[in-house]
Structure 1
Amino acid sequence: MLSIIVSSYQQKYYDQLVKNINETIGDHFLYEIIQIWNPDLMSITKAYNIGAKKSQYENLLFLHEDIIFHTQNWGEKLLSSLNKDNTGVIGIAGSSYVPSAPSSWTVATKYNFINILQGNKQNTDYTHLHSMAGNLMKALAVDGVFLAIKKEKYLQIRFDENLKGFHGYDLDFSLRTSKKFQNYVIDDILIQHFSGGNLNKIWFDTNIAIKLKLGSNFNIHTDSEVEKDVFNNFLYRYFTYYLINRKNILFTLKFYPKKLTLKHHLEIMKKYLSYIRHSGDINKKINLTQGE
């Protein structure tokens, strides 16, 4: 009933995950685990599409290998959520707002939904991150640690293999799914994750590419405060990696939020003026960093 697909490169974690699934998914529950061995051999989008093609069941779960489940009989719980009408992607972390500027799914606290034990690779400590107002929260973007979808709906979306590497696949897949179906974050399955992710320049550039591709026409309303904060954070990251010059300033304006209060427009303009005023020092630092 459930095909679990893992893009794998750490056999220790994978073996631990398989044992854990066997012990927690539920007695007599039909499932298969498909390991796509992928120590940087292909993009995660390609690995997941290969795994889905090999799958035999009508429900798919794309899963990171560096996790374990703390919930017993979670297989039936997942199928109960997937079988709801018009359900798209089911996850354990996501958000219900998509800003104009490139960003991860973690947009703002009031729009974020999460239920996870977030730890480290050494498995020495973890924190229970929980922000849920109900057991089933409507979402747009869903985090890639846990992505479940019915196969018939996956076949209409598929992972975009034009996205190379291991970043952005979840944002792209879940947002495209949200155009046709309703994504959800659930509260009745708890996992422990041993990695916090790597938000580097490759991750940042991938998010920019996804925003250029998909745009930001996902919300019913505009939250000016969130739009301002996300855009300012985007500027900070952008001018950490890219020089402050006319070409790059014009590029950032592609993502400028249109519906802002006058106060927030002025705050962003002050940010631009500050970057321009200090461009000499900032550009010198960028050049030194890139020259290392």
Structure 2
Amino acid sequence: MLSIIISSYHPQFYSALEKNIAETIGIPYEIIKIDNPNLMGICEAYNKGASLSKYDYLLFVHEDVIFHTKEWGQKLINHLEKENVGVVGLAGSNYVPKAPCGWFIFDEIYNFKNYIQNNKERTRRTIKQMLIPYAKVFAVDGVFMAVTKFVYNEFLFDVKVKGFHGYDTDFSLRVATRYHNYVINDVLIEHFSEGDSNKLWFDNNIQIREKIMHRYQENFDEKVESILFHAFLRRYFSYYNCNLKNIFFTLRFFPHQLTRYNKFLIFKGYMYYFFKHK
């Protein structure tokens, strides 16, 4: 009933997960392992795995996790069988700012998480359990992304998103233009690595936001938009020169609904970066 697709590069993690799934899933399944020691981007690996799948429900999951929930397979299927469902995940957010960024929003009122976060050494364990049964979101974290094959075939992973960053934001936001994405609380995993927001992550998020200019939420959060645009400029001009060409490029993502005061502060920020790069 469930095809589990894994882009694998760490045999020890994969073996532990394979055994864990067999002990916990509780329904018929297949695992499609795509050996991928940096041979291809994760989008290409996931599309390759999905093309080999035989079931109508797909789960794209990292290999450095274990499942703590028993009989979790049917619980997941129940969510995927709901009307107009898109991506089902265990972490995501329901606010999409104008500025390029990942799924996570600094203001926790917009984030929904249901997982245990640890590190590879298993020394830093943090439990994030959502109290409500499910939450509608737009962007979904890629550690766990479930979708029907029907919806997957409509969107696919975009192989133009290179490497291992941003693929989840890109896929889930495109799906959210037509379907409802959810974070659920009746499946619990533990994840044994922490994110790496490097330059490729940043560039991929810019590419994604250039491509997807959809307006997701009706409300406009002045504080979130202002803080994230300042953060975007700070990071952008740490990688690229603050010249007129790049200033005009960043203005593509400018949140025009800001108040005059916040617009003035952003203008001051531009002046700071411009003279800093002189």
TM class, shorter-length:
over 0.9
The equivalences for 1:1-292 within 5 A come to 1-26=1-26, 29-107=27-105, 108-130=107-129, 132=130, 134-280=132-278
Q: Distance in 2 between matches of 1:177 and 1:220?
A: 18
Note the C-alpha offset of 1:133. Answer: 5.4
Q: 8 Å contact 1:100–1:216 — kept in the other structure?
A: no
Q: Distance in 1 between matches of 2:121 and 2:238?
A: 30
Q: 8 Å contact 2:25–2:72 — kept in the other structure?
A: yes
Q: Distance in 2 between matches of 1:111 and 1:262?
A: 25
Alignment partner of 2:114: what SS?
strand
Alignment partner of 2:75: what SS?
helix
Return 33-42 or 262-271, whichever deviates more: 262-271
Normalising by structure 1, report the TM-score. Answer: 0.92
Q: Percent identity?
A: 52
Return 58-67 or 154-163, whichever deviates more: 154-163
Q: Distance in 1 between matches of 2:219 and 2:163?
A: 33
Note the C-alpha offset of 1:110. Answer: 1.2
State the Cα deviation string for residues 10-30 of structure 1 (Å, max 9, x = none): 01100000011111112xx11
Q: Distance in 2 between matches of 1:44 and 1:175?
A: 17
Note the C-alpha offset of 1:124. Answer: 2.3
Q: Distance in 2 between matches of 1:122 and 1:44?
A: 24
Q: Distance in 1 between matches of 2:134 and 2:261?
A: 35
Alignment partner of 1:270: what SS?
helix
Where structure 2 has 5 or more consecutive residues not aligned to the other structure, the ranges are: none
Note the C-alpha offset of 1:223. Answer: 1.2
Q: 8 Å contact 2:177–2:214 — kept in the other structure?
A: no
Q: Over aligned residues, Cα RMSD in angstroms?
A: 1.2
What amino acid maps onto 2:17 in structure 1? L
Q: Distance in 2 between matches of 1:267 and 1:77?
A: 48
Normalising by structure 2, report the TM-score. Answer: 0.96
Note the C-alpha offset of 1:278. Answer: 2.9
Q: 1:91 to 1:161 in 2, by over 3 A?
A: same
Q: Distance in 2 between matches of 1:20 and 1:261?
A: 52
Q: 8 Å contact 2:156–2:171 — kept in the other structure?
A: yes
